[in-house]
C-alpha cells in the first residue's frame, strides 16, 4: 500500500510539473488533444488510455507543428485510479492501439514553414492494420516534415499488420534526427516499393539511430529484382553524407532482404543479427547471422534460454568513452519492449533485439566459447 501511495504521489508531482497533460480515451478526444497541443504554445503530453483508436479520417491522426520549439509526447497504456485520470501506466505497448482496419492511415506529421526546432516522442503504444495510399511513399505512419532541426524519438512501439506502397509501417523524412529503439516491426506488407521501414536522408546534418529493435516476418508483394521488406535507407546519389547507426537489432525472417543500406553517407552496423543484407556499411562490427531463438508465441519476441541474442549487444556509450560512432548521443533506453519493469540490461550486457530476456546464461558462454569470446562482442 505504501509503495502504491508513493508511486501515485510521484506521478501527480510529475504531471503537475508539465505544461499541459491530456488524458484521452477515444478517437475524438485524441484528435481534439492533438489540435489543442498544436495551438497552445506549450510543451504537451498526451496520455492514451488502453483501447483502440480509429482515426476520424482516412489520412490518419495529425501532429501539426505550428510554433517554433514545440515539444509533444504521446504515450499509451495509461489507466485511471478512482477519480484521477491517466494516473498510472501499464508497460505493455499493445494496450493502446492506433488501428486502421486496413482502410485508414494511422498518423502523420506536418509543420509550418516557420518551425525550425521541435521534439516529438511516441512511446508504449501500437500502430496496427494501417494502410498507406497507392503509388506514394507514404506509410501507415508518415513522418513527413519540412527540412528542419526537429527530433523524433520512437521508443517501445509496435508496428504490426500494416500495408503500404513503400514504408508499409513507417515512412520518415525531413527531420534532423530520428531515433527508433526497443520497437517491434512484424507482419507488415510492402505492396510495391521498399521497406516496412522507409527512411530518407538527404542532408549532411541528418542522423538516424536504429537501436535494439526487432524486425521480423514482414512480407513484400512487389516484383522488383531487389526487394527489401525490412529496413530500407534512402540517400541521394549526390554529396549529402548523413550519419546512420544501426545497433543491437534483429533482422530475421523477412521476405527477401531484411536490411537494405544506402550507398551514400556514413553508416555504422554494430552487434546486429541479420539474415539477409543488401550493401555493406561504412563500419561493421560484432554482427551475427544465426537463428535468434525467440519465444514461439505470436508477438512474444523475448529470447529463449540459450539464445545467442542474450548479452550479445553493444553497450551504450559511457560518459567518458572516446571515439564512439556518431558522437556519444545514442542510447538503448531504460526498458525493453515487453514492460516497464524489466531493466533494459539484465546480466552483463544488453541483449540484441527489442525485448530483454531475464536469462543471463548464454549456453555457458563464459566457460565454453572459443578464443574469440562470446558471439557479438566487439
Residue 225's pLDDT is what?
Answer: 64
Q: 125 near 90, Cβ under 8 Å?
A: no
Low-confidence ranges of the chain (pLDDT < 70): 1-19, 225, 237-240, 320, 322-325, 327, 360-378
Nearest to 285 by CA among 267, 263, 264, 307: 267
Q: 252 near 271, Cβ under 8 Å?
A: no
Could you report the per-residue pLDDT of 182-218, keeping only the tens digit for each? 999 999 999 989 999 999 988 888 899 999 999 999 9
Give long-range contacts, CB 8 A cutoff, 24+ apart: 112-116: 112/64, 112/65, 112/66, 113/146, 114/66, 114/67, 114/68, 115/65, 115/66, 115/67, 115/68, 115/70, 115/146, 115/148, 115/150, 116/68, 116/148, 116/149
Q: 350 near 360, Cβ under 8 Å?
A: no
Could you report the per-residue pLDDT of 315-339, keeping only the tens digit for each? 998 876 766 567 677 999 999 999 9
C-alpha dist (Å) from residue 50 to 73, 93, 100, 273: 16, 10, 16, 33
Beta bridge partners of 96: 51
Model pTM above 0.85: yes
Domain ranges of the chain: 182-317+330-378
Contacts of 67 (CB under 8 A, 6+ apart): 41, 114, 115
Amino acid at each position: 500500500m505504501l509503495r502504491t501511495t508513493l508511486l501515485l504521489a510521484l506521478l501527480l508531482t510529475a504531471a503537475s510539473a508539465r505544461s499541459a497533460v491530456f488524458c484521452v480515451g477515444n478517437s475524438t478526444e485524441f484528435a481534439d488533444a492533438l489540435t489543442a497541443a498544436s495551438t497552445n504554445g506549450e510543451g504537451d503530453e498526451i496520455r492514451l488510455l488502453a483501447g483502440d483508436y480509429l482515426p476520424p479520417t482516412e489520412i490518419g491522426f495529425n501532429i501539426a507543428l505550428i510554433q517554433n520549439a514545440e515539444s509533444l509526447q504521446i504515450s499509451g497504456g495509461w489507466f485511471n485510479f478512482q477519480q484521477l485520470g491517466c494516473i498510472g501506466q501499464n508497460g505493455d505497448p499493445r494496450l493502446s492501439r492506433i488501428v486502421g482496419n486496413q482502410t485508414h492511415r494511422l498518423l502523420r506529421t506536418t509543420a509550418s514553414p516557420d518551425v525550425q526546432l521541435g521534439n516529438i516522442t511516441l512511446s508504449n503504444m501500437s500502430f496496427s492494420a494501417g494502410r498507406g495510399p497507392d503509388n506514394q511513399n507514404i506509410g501507415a505512419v508518415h513522418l513527413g516534415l519540412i527540412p528542419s532541426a526537429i527530433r523524433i524519438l520512437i521508443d517501445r512501439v509496435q508496428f504490426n499488420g500494416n500495408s503500404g506502397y513503400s514504408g508499409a509501417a513507417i515512412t520518415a523524412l525531413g527531420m534532423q534526427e530520428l531515433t527508433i529503439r526497443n520497437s517491434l516491426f512484424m507482419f507488415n506488407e510492402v505492396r510495391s516499393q521498399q521497406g516496412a521501414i522507409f527512411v530518407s536522408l538527404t542532408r549532411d546534418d541528418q542522423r538516424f539511430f536504429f537501436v535494439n529493435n526487432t524486425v521480423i516476418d514482414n512480407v513484400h508483394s512487389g516484383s522488383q529484382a531487389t526487394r527489401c521488406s525490412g529496413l530500407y535507407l534512402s540517400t541521394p546519389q549526390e554529396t549529402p553524407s548523413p550519419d546512420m547507426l544501426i545497433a543491437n537489432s534483429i533482422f530475421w525472417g523477412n521476405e527477401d532482404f531484411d536490411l537494405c543500406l544506402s550507398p551514400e553517407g556514413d553508416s555504422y552496423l554494430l552487434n546486429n543479427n541479420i539474415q539477409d543484407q543488401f550493401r555493406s556499411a561504412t563500419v561493421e562490427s560484432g554482427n551475427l547471422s544465426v537463428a535468434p531463438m525467440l519465444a514461439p508465441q505470436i508477438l512474444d519476441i523475448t529470447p529463449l534460454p540459450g539464445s545467442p541474442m542474450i548479452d550479445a549487444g553493444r553497450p551504450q556509450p559511457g560518459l567518458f568513452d572516446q571515439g564512439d560512432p556518431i558522437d556519444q548521443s545514442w542510447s538503448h533506453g531504460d526498458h525493453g519492449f515487453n514492460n516497464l519493469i524489466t531493466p533494459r540490461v539484465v546480466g552483463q550486457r544488453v541483449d540484441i533485439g527489442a525485448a530483454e530476456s531475464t536469462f543471463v546464461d548464454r549456453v555457458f558462454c563464459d566457460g565454453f566459447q572459443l578464443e574469440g569470446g562470446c558471439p557479438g562482442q566487439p
